[in-house]
Protein backbone atom coordinates (compact mmCIF):
# COMPACT_ATOMS: atom_id res chain seq x y z
CA UNK A 1 0.00 0.00 0.00
CA UNK A 2 2.78 2.43 0.91
CA UNK A 3 4.61 1.61 -2.31
CA UNK A 4 1.48 2.34 -4.36
CA UNK A 5 1.00 5.68 -2.61
CA UNK A 6 4.61 6.65 -3.25
CA UNK A 7 4.21 5.84 -6.96
CA UNK A 8 1.07 7.99 -7.10
CA UNK A 9 2.80 10.91 -5.40
CA UNK A 10 5.86 10.65 -7.65
CA UNK A 11 3.63 10.59 -10.72
CA UNK A 12 1.67 13.62 -9.54
CA UNK A 13 4.91 15.46 -8.85
CA UNK A 14 6.19 14.55 -12.32
CA UNK A 15 2.93 15.96 -13.69
CA UNK A 16 3.70 19.30 -12.07
CA UNK A 17 1.49 19.06 -9.02
CA UNK A 18 2.60 21.04 -5.98
CA UNK A 19 2.89 20.05 -2.34
CA UNK A 20 -0.72 21.00 -1.53
CA UNK A 21 -2.00 18.82 -4.35
CA UNK A 22 0.21 15.94 -3.25
CA UNK A 23 -1.05 16.23 0.32
CA UNK A 24 -4.68 16.26 -0.82
CA UNK A 25 -4.09 13.11 -2.89
CA UNK A 26 -2.35 11.46 0.07
CA UNK A 27 -5.30 12.27 2.33
CA UNK A 28 -7.83 10.86 -0.13
CA UNK A 29 -5.74 7.74 -0.72
CA UNK A 30 -5.24 7.08 2.97
CA UNK A 31 -8.98 7.56 3.56
CA UNK A 32 -9.64 4.89 0.93
CA UNK A 33 -11.93 7.23 -1.02
CA UNK A 34 -11.11 5.96 -4.50
CA UNK A 35 -13.96 7.82 -6.22
CA UNK A 36 -12.89 11.15 -4.70
CA UNK A 37 -9.26 10.40 -5.58
CA UNK A 38 -10.17 9.79 -9.22
CA UNK A 39 -12.22 13.01 -9.29
CA UNK A 40 -9.22 14.81 -7.82
CA UNK A 41 -6.89 13.36 -10.47
CA UNK A 42 -9.30 14.63 -13.12
CA UNK A 43 -9.32 18.08 -11.52
CA UNK A 44 -5.52 18.10 -11.53
CA UNK A 45 -5.56 17.03 -15.17
CA UNK A 46 -7.89 19.90 -16.06
CA UNK A 47 -5.52 22.33 -14.38
CA UNK A 48 -2.59 20.99 -16.38
CA UNK A 49 -4.62 21.25 -19.59
CA UNK A 50 -5.44 24.90 -18.83
CA UNK A 51 -1.72 25.55 -18.33
CA UNK A 52 -1.00 23.83 -21.63
CA UNK A 53 -3.55 25.94 -23.49
CA UNK A 54 -2.20 29.13 -21.93
CA UNK A 55 1.32 28.17 -23.05
CA UNK A 56 0.00 27.47 -26.55
CA UNK A 57 -1.58 30.95 -26.70
CA UNK A 58 1.78 32.47 -25.76
CA UNK A 59 3.56 30.48 -28.46
CA UNK A 60 0.92 31.60 -30.97
CA UNK A 61 1.66 35.24 -30.07
CA UNK A 62 5.36 34.68 -30.67
CA UNK A 63 4.65 32.95 -33.98
CA UNK A 64 2.60 35.97 -35.06
CA UNK A 65 5.46 38.32 -34.15
CA UNK A 66 7.93 36.18 -36.08
CA UNK A 67 5.72 36.18 -39.18
CA UNK A 68 5.04 39.92 -38.95
CA UNK A 69 8.69 40.80 -38.45
CA UNK A 70 9.80 38.56 -41.31
CA UNK A 71 7.43 40.27 -43.79
CA UNK A 72 8.81 43.08 -45.90
CA UNK A 73 7.73 46.51 -44.61
CA UNK A 74 5.39 47.23 -47.54
CA UNK A 75 3.39 44.04 -46.82
CA UNK A 76 2.81 44.87 -43.11
CA UNK A 77 0.24 47.59 -43.65
pLDDT of 32: 96
Q: Distance between CA 46 and CA 40 in Å, rounded? A: 10
pLDDT of 1: 74
pLDDT tens for the chain, 77 residues long, are 799 999 999 999 999 999 999 999 999 999 999 999 999 999 999 999 999 999 999 999 999 999 999 987 767 66
Do the beta carbons of residue 34 and residue 66 sit within 8 Å? no
pTM: 0.78
pLDDT of 76: 62
pLDDT of 72: 79
**CA pseudo-torsion sign 57, 58, 59, 61:** positive
pLDDT of 77: 60
Amino acid sequence: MKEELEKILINLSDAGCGSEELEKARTLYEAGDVDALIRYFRKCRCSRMEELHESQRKVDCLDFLIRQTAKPIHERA
